[in-house]
Amino acid sequence: MFPLQRGRRLRANESIRSLVRETTLSPSDFMFPMFITEGENYQSEIPSMVGIYRRSIDLTVKEVKEIFALGIRAINIYVKVDESLKDNTGKEAWNPNGLMQQAIKAIKAACPEMIVMPDVALDPYSIYGHDGLIENGDIANDATNEALVKMAVSHAQAGADFVAPSDMMDGRVLRLRQGLDAAGFSNVGIMSYSAKYASAFYGPFRDALDSAPVDNAEIPKDKKTYQMDYANRIEAIKEALMDVEEGADMVMVKPGIAYLDIVREVKNAVNVPVTVFHVSGEYAMIKAASERGWLDHDKIMMEQLMCIKRAGASLISTYFAKEAAILLNK
């Protein structure tokens, strides 16, 4: 039968396409991951992440003001601590005068409306590079949770709006919720890394924080005993549902583009916003390919971000946040 319905009528020109477009992007859809280091008026580019820097607190504050002016309303912050402060207790993670705590205070003082979500995990503070405490050659789940509570409460005391546990310990969301409430921070939210896979896409991030697991035969050689097996789908839904039951206000799927099927599954399963982390390796691949002229940088960047949003993301944590916001504002 000759077609009565012609899909091309709705694709005839950009004006029509924009009228019927199902998914849109805006700068407020993005969260910008930021790396903070000691010093003053200091920044250094991360070699494996072109255009991304470790910055001292003063320059971080300047950058925060710039991205807020672009319409970005959330940042996810990480710190690179001095080797001398690392141990197997994590105590520097809840130092009230620590680098993370100082950074949160400075950012909130300079830009109160920016939503600050500090990372909650022990790997930047660990001599072993793991997200938890090592006991008897393994990651001690419950002892790690106790340390994470101290860490999260210290972030809340510094002014954090949300805490972002990325450790993947069992039961940590419940313990964090209980600990924050007991300390008088019932209004501080939890954005849980619920479906965080043991992925090879994290390599450049670990360069940024010098947080890769150390080569030691007496401890786990990687993070596969707590991060998820990338062969699994149903497990991601279970983890997200458990975190919501334990008090998570948002759940995250990480990585992004390679896991869009998981994003949609989790979105369909939960009744809270879903964040997606467009991770360092995904960022680095686009940068490398575009530098060689193999891909159109801006077109690929925007296509990937749109696809993440289309899959179900309410918020996208991406190293492209600033570049994408500039393009959208044009």
Catalytic positions: 196, 254
Where is 245: in which H helix or E strand?
Answer: helix 234-246
Q: What CA–CA distance (Å, rounded) separates 208 from 44?
A: 10
Q: How many CA atoms within 13 Å lie on the side-chain side of 248?
A: 27
Q: What CA–CA distance (Å, rounded) separates 31 from 33?
A: 7
Where is 139: in which H helix or E strand?
Answer: strand 138-139
Amino acid in position 214 = V
Backbone angles phi, psi at 104, to 5 degrees: -60, -45
Nearest to 205 by CA among 151, 131, 261: 131
Q: What CA–CA distance (Å, rounded) separates 214 from 127?
A: 8
Q: What CA–CA distance (Å, rounded) separates 255 from 205?
A: 12
Backbone angles phi, psi at 6, to 5 degrees: -120, 110
Roughly how many angstroms between the first and final C-alpha of the chain, as a whole number? 45
Q: What CA–CA distance (Å, rounded) separates 298 from 8?
A: 26
User: Residue 143 to residues 11, 54, 280: CA-CA distances in angstroms?
Assistant: 57, 30, 29
Contacts of 21 (CB under 8 A, 6+ apart): none
